[in-house]
Structure 1
Amino acid sequence: MSNTDLQSDLKSLVPLFKPESIAIIGASSNPAKPSGQPLVALTQCGFKGHVYPVNPNYRTLLGLHCYPSLTDIPGPVDLCIIAVPARMTLTALEECAAKGVRGVIIFTSGFAEVGNEGAIIQQQMTALARKTGMRICGPNCMGIFSAQNALMANFAVTELPDKVLVPDYLGFISQSGGFGVAIYEMIKEKGYGFSHFVSTGNEANLEFSHYLGYMAADNKTRVIGGYLEGLKDGQKFLQAADMALANNKPVMLMKAGRYPASAKAAASHTGALVGSEKVYSAVFKQKGIIRIDNLEEFLNMLSIMHSGKIPCGKRIAILATSGGSGVMLADKCAHYGLDVVPLQEETRLALAALLPDFASTANPVDITSAIITQPGLLEQCAQIVIKDPGVDMMIVAYWTEFGNRSILNQMIRVEQSTNKPVFNLIWGPEKAAQEAMHYMNNNLIPAGREVDFIIKSMATLAEYHIFVQSRKETTMLGPEIPINAREKAAVLLNNLGPGTRLSEHTAKQVLRAYGIPTTREQLATTMEEALAAAETIGYPVVMKIESPDILHKTDAGGVLLNIRTPEEVTTGLHQLLNNARVYKADADIKGVLVQQMLPDNGIEMIVGISKDSTFGSTVLVGLGGIFVEALEDVALRVAPVSPLDAQEMLSELKGQRVLDGLRGRLPADKQALLDIIQRLSRLAVDFPQIAELDINPLIVFPKGEGACAADALIAME
């Protein structure tokens, strides 16, 4: 599905967020019940549309005519809330379909989350929605809140917030009802207004990604947050994330399940290195999703972003009222990847003119306790530092006393006078610090007490800005793929059964079709062919057993290096065949592969393709050789991989210094490596039926000398 198709698909969500009429099946007037809360809230909070309670046990509810059934309602119904027992839910949903209701929210639980019987009923819901085009939120959800039209189609958000300092700010999606509501309440207390809040429930029809796409397209939503446990359709999520990126809307997600039990290792190195968590992390990096580990970070980032003052770089200035705290903050900044840069000479001279002799004008700036005896000193110094053209953001640490707002007001004026983010680190007795943070929050000034959360939040936002700008500014083009690559590879890959494994020789033919260099080689089935191949290729040569049933040839004694004479070819052939039979007696032996012996001046890398059940084909790169699984120094992205994605993959490797040249070695040909990553990406897109592909090792030679696939395997889905 293209982005255009997704946007068209999202139009069907309008009845859930902007209904003109709402029916509540199973309605009651008891605000303590899920069936009563939306009726009470909708009538009391100013919803402008029609509200139709449906319950055969009542004639009226809260002064509204109560209908015995949905079909008795005379006019159209845009949205229906179902709040009846599980045994009655499917019948109610069928009534909605008969009535022509376009959106349904099902509060009721007792479906896929409880066992097979419930799962079968939920599958029937999904089928009914697919057949009719009706959209379902839930079941087993808390519903939807939308501030734009006082839509209280839920049983958790039952009243409009008293304090909204930043209206129409945050859209939030949660796959946990209770946890999501707890997050809602804490964010609401800060005064950050919600555009929408959605509890997704079991996602029988509408999924997390639908709501993400809707909010990405919604002009009232500025920032999107969410609690995510897992996705059903990774491609839909990728499209929604692209929409958010295109519309300049940061997406901040808490992703649960960072440490699931390890899945069974796949046959290839690539498969063994790729797990669900690694793929999610890669997707977040690839699409600019901000991953948040806790609510404190989330709140800090919201406090910075509401004014649009996202740091445009990683250069930070520190102002502190003691030298020790400044040094500690500098250490923390370095830990989280921020640059505590030297201040310009002009800045330091201006500071020196104000500060006492025992202060420090270096970064971090120690302004000492003179701010107590010199009113206005903190503001003056902060204004000087934040104007330094080499500074992207600033953190100011100071002590506050209960009821003393003079210093706080100085920092409010500083923040209001600049377009750079300024975060206040407030220390002091508990009561005084809490009062100060509350005061700053009510003036929309970023402030907090927890050093790590504050600095990590600023670093994360700086990285986000750099990511967004890189996508806007890049003009890099990928390598030109041979015009008939797909056709050549199709001859070898199409019509293969599930689980089919290609031998090295055949796998390399696929690689060569896409312009990926491989070793020169010949397959020999007889001694004469092996001797002739060695003569043609030129000594020394490598000899390998060729069998789709022996994937890791080194483990089977199936590789011989540096074969220099015809006699060694003869001996080697017998040795390889004997080793293979001992290792796997029933292996399908295709022969012996005789190939060129590559020079030893290259770096062994691994590149490959793996298949993720959620997101589809992924492309991986890392340091290769026999230690690849032990080191696990790899980076991956979901196909297709852009030139910029490929560059970022290399920058993530801990061993990237090896590629840059280490201990006298020449720098590696990184452009050749980047080229191969993108060629593999194109292969993965063209043939999604590839379950695993390994090039290990890929020998990357010194800069300008290219790279060569020394070994390869392909397994089909």
Structure 2
Amino acid sequence: MAITDFQQELSSLLPIFQPASIAIIGASNNPAKPSGQPLVSLTRWGFKGKIYPVNPKYQTLCNLQCYQSLKDIPGPVDLCIIAVPARMTMPALLESAAKGVKGVIIFTSGFAEVGPDGAEIQREMTRLAKETGMRICGPNCMGVFSSRNALMANFSVTDLPDHVLVPDFLGFISQSGGFGVAIYEIIKEKGIGFSHFVSTGNEADLEFSHYMGYMAHDPHTRVIGGYLEGIKDGQKFLQAADMALEKGKPVMLIKAGRYPASARAAASHTGALVGSEKVYSAVFKQKGIIRVESLEEFQVMLAVLAAGKIPRGKRVAILATSGGSGVALADKCAHYGLEVVPLQKQTREALDAILPDFASSANPVDITSAIMTQPGLLEQCAQIVLGDTDVDMMIVNNWALHGDQSRLEQMTRVSARCDKPILNLVWGPEREALAAIRYLNDQLVPAAREADFAIRALTSLAEYNNFVHTRLNSALSKPKIAENAREKASEILDRFPPGSQLTEYTAKQVLRAYGIPTTREILAATAEEAVNAAKTIGYPVVMKIESPDILHKTDAGGVFLNISSETEVREKFQVLMDNARAYKPDAVINGVLVQEMLPGGTEMIVGIGKDRVFGSTVLVGLGGIFVEALEDVALRVVPVTPLDAREMLDELKGRRILEGLRGQPPADRQAVQNIMLRVSRLADDFPQIAELDINPLMVFSEGRGACAADALIVIA
């Protein structure tokens, strides 16, 4: 789906979020029931549009005329809430379509989540939505809340909050109704204003990605949050993420399902290394989505973002009232990826001028107990440290004791004067600490009690800011692909039916069409042909069995290196044939591949995988026989940009090998990146490629390029 098509599709969500009229099928006036709560809340909080209760049992409800059926309503209906038993839901939906309703929210459960019969009814809902253009939220959902128009089209959010520090701030999407509502209530208590809250339910029609895209374009949403279990249409999700990036809106998601019970088996190394969780993690990195590990961490991020001061980098200064707490915080900062940087000379001199002799002006700064005897010392030190141009953010360890309010007021004043984030870690007795945290957060001065959550939150926000800045200022160029590359590759790939496994010889022909360097090689059907091939290529040579039924040749004794004479070629040819027949007697054997022996280099793997949600992926890692054991790989979904390729290499734990270890010259990273981009283009052009392995990709020293020594392709 083109991004313009998806943008146009998002306009169809307007009746869900901005209806001028709402009908409630199955309405009641009992606020304890899902059928009664929306009617009670809509009338109580002053929804500006028309409200039509529908229930043949009543004449009036909440002082409104109650209609016998949807067709009896005299005017148009934008949004219909269906709150009837499962057996009555499909008739109500058909009635809505006949009425010309543009949007429907289905509270009712008992569909795909309960078994095959319910799943079939849900498929009918999906078909009806596609045929009529009517958009469906649910079924099995808690509904939708929007603050600006008091849209209480749900049975969970019953009140407009009375404690809002930052209105029109957070749009939240949840694939869990109950958990999502719990998150809503906790965040609401902190004074964070919601623009929208959506419980997606079973997503028979509208998906998580639709709501995310809508909020990306919504002028009243500044941050997008969500609880996510899985995506149906990966391309829509990618487009929604791009929209949020374009609008400068952070997306922060709690993603469940990190540890699947089983992994998919695959013919290639790439297939074995590409699992659903790895792909989701790759997508989040690729699109700048912040993965939130806990609700506590989420709250700290929101507090920092609500204050409007996102970290510009990872350099942190720590201001502590004891040496021990400062050192402990420095350890945690280093553990989570923040840099506890040395303070500049002038900064330390200014601190030394006001601190007692037994204090420390190093980072972390130890103010000591002088904070209790010198009023204003905390504020002075904080102001000095924040003026250091090497500092991006500051963590202040504040003790809440004896109801002392002065230090809290000092931090409020400092925060108001500074454009760098300040996070207050408040320790002390629980009652005093929580009161202090509440006071600071109410002044939009971020505060928390638990260091781990808070420091992780700062790290994630700094990484997000760096991601956005790097993307905006990136000007890396792509390698040029030959105009006839797709045509050449198509001539080869079209010969193979679905499920085929291409041998090395054939796979390399596809690679060469896209400008990917491969070894010089000749396929020999006899020992005599092998001898002639070796003479043409030049000794020493490599000899490999060539069979579509033997993909991992080393397992079958199907590879010999450094063959340096005619006698050895004849001997190894026969050994290869014998080994192959012994390994798999019924294997189709095309012959022996005679190829040049490459000089030494760094062995890497570059490959294509196929994810059922997001489509084609590109993988890179250290190669050779240990690739699956080490699993030191980086992954991105197609298309891969030059910046993606560079970042993938930076992610590898073994990246120091590429930089040159123990006197070895640096490897040609640029050559690897170019090959990754060519592989990405190949995957984009031919989505029928389920798996591709270039393993090993021999990478030579800087400026000398790289070469595919082996390859295989599996067709979906």
Shorter-chain TM range is over 0.9
Match of 2:513 in 1: 513
Whole-angstrom distance in 2 between the partners of 1:308 and 1:681: 38
Asked if residue 617 in structure 1 is aligned to residue 616 in structure 2, the reply is yes
Whole-angstrom distance in 2 between the partners of 1:650 and 1:385: 35
Asked if residue 523 in structure 1 is aligned to residue 518 in structure 2, the reply is no
Whole-angstrom distance in 2 between the partners of 1:610 and 1:593: 26
Match of 2:197 in 1: 197
1:45-69 Cα distance to aligned partner (Å, 9 max, x none): 1100000000001000011000000
Whole-angstrom distance in 2 between the partners of 1:442 and 1:329: 25
Superposition deviation, residue 495 in structure 1: 5.1
Whole-angstrom distance in 2 between the partners of 1:439 and 1:393: 21
Match of 2:359 in 1: 359
Superposition deviation, residue 308 in structure 1: 2.1
Question: Amino acid of the residue matched to residue 91 of structure 2?
Answer: T
Whole-angstrom distance in 1 between the partners of 2:491 and 2:375: 80
Assess if the C-alpha contact under 8 Å between 1:402 and 1:433 holds in 2: no
1:289-310 Cα distance to aligned partner (Å, 9 max, x none): 0000100000000000013210
Assess if the C-alpha contact under 8 Å between 2:223 and 2:249 holds in 1: yes
Assess if the C-alpha contact under 8 Å between 1:81 and 1:104 holds in 2: yes
1:576-601 Cα distance to aligned partner (Å, 9 max, x none): 1111111111111111100001112x
Match of 2:487 in 1: 487
Greater shift, 525-534 or 281-290, is seen at: 525-534
Asked if residue 677 in structure 1 is aligned to residue 667 in structure 2, the reply is no
Superposition deviation, residue 398 in structure 1: 2.0
Whole-angstrom distance in 1 between the partners of 2:471 and 2:706: 28
Whole-angstrom distance in 2 between the partners of 1:72 and 1:436: 57
Match of 1:250 in 2: 250
User: Identity rate of aligned residues, in percent?
Assistant: 73
Match of 1:435 in 2: 435
Q: TM-score, normalised by structure 2?
A: 0.99
Asked if residue 552 in structure 1 is aligned to residue 552 in structure 2, the reply is yes
Question: Amino acid of the residue matched to residue 119 of structure 2?
Answer: A
Tell me the C-alpha RMSD between the 2 structures. 0.7
Whole-angstrom distance in 2 between the partners of 1:656 and 1:171: 39
Question: Amino acid of the residue matched to residue 296 of structure 2?
Answer: E
Match of 2:658 in 1: 659
Match of 2:5 in 1: 5
Superposition deviation, residue 431 in structure 1: 1.2
- Match of 2:624, SS state, is coil
Whole-angstrom distance in 2 between the partners of 1:704 and 1:686: 29
The size of the alignment, in residue pairs, is: 716
- Match of 2:553, SS state, is coil
Match of 1:28 in 2: 28
Match of 1:590 in 2: 590
Match of 1:697 in 2: 696
Question: Amino acid of the residue matched to residue 536 of structure 2?
Answer: T
Question: Amino acid of the residue matched to residue 366 of structure 1?
Answer: D
Question: Amino acid of the residue matched to residue 169 of structure 1?
Answer: F
Question: Which 5+ residue runs of structure 1 have no aligned equivalent?
Answer: none
- Match of 1:667, SS state, is coil
Whole-angstrom distance in 1 between the partners of 2:463 and 2:602: 30
- Match of 1:626, SS state, is helix
Superposition deviation, residue 469 in structure 1: 0.2
1:213-242 Cα distance to aligned partner (Å, 9 max, x none): 000000000000000000100000000000
Question: Amino acid of the residue matched to residue 682 of structure 2?
Answer: L
Assess if the C-alpha contact under 8 Å between 1:255 and 1:291 holds in 2: yes
Question: Amino acid of the residue matched to residue 651 of structure 2?
Answer: E
Match of 2:272 in 1: 272
Whole-angstrom distance in 1 between the partners of 2:156 and 2:164: 18
- Match of 2:184, SS state, is helix
- Match of 1:148, SS state, is coil
Superposition deviation, residue 496 in structure 1: 2.6
- Match of 1:398, SS state, is strand
Whole-angstrom distance in 2 between the partners of 1:100 and 1:691: 43
Superposition deviation, residue 654 in structure 1: 0.3
- Match of 1:13, SS state, is helix
Match of 1:19 in 2: 19
Assess if the C-alpha contact under 8 Å between 2:264 and 2:275 holds in 1: no
Alignment of 1:130-141 (within 5 A): 130-141=130-141
Superposition deviation, residue 403 in structure 1: 2.5
Match of 1:287 in 2: 287
Superposition deviation, residue 438 in structure 1: 1.2
Superposition deviation, residue 447 in structure 1: 0.5
Alignment of 1:444-483 (within 5 A): 444-483=444-483
- Match of 2:280, SS state, is helix
Question: Amino acid of the residue matched to residue 548 of structure 1?
Answer: P
Match of 1:149 in 2: 149
- Match of 2:23, SS state, is strand
Assess if the C-alpha contact under 8 Å between 1:262 and 1:275 holds in 2: no
Question: Amino acid of the residue matched to residue 531 of structure 1?
Answer: V
Whole-angstrom distance in 2 between the partners of 1:398 and 1:124: 59
Asked if residue 58 in structure 1 is aligned to residue 64 in structure 2, the reply is no
Match of 1:637 in 2: 636
- Match of 2:625, SS state, is coil
Match of 1:227 in 2: 227
Assess if the C-alpha contact under 8 Å between 1:3 and 1:243 holds in 2: no
Whole-angstrom distance in 2 between the partners of 1:308 and 1:32: 39
Question: Which 5+ residue runs of structure 2 have no aligned equivalent?
Answer: none
Alignment of 1:558-597 (within 5 A): 558-597=558-597
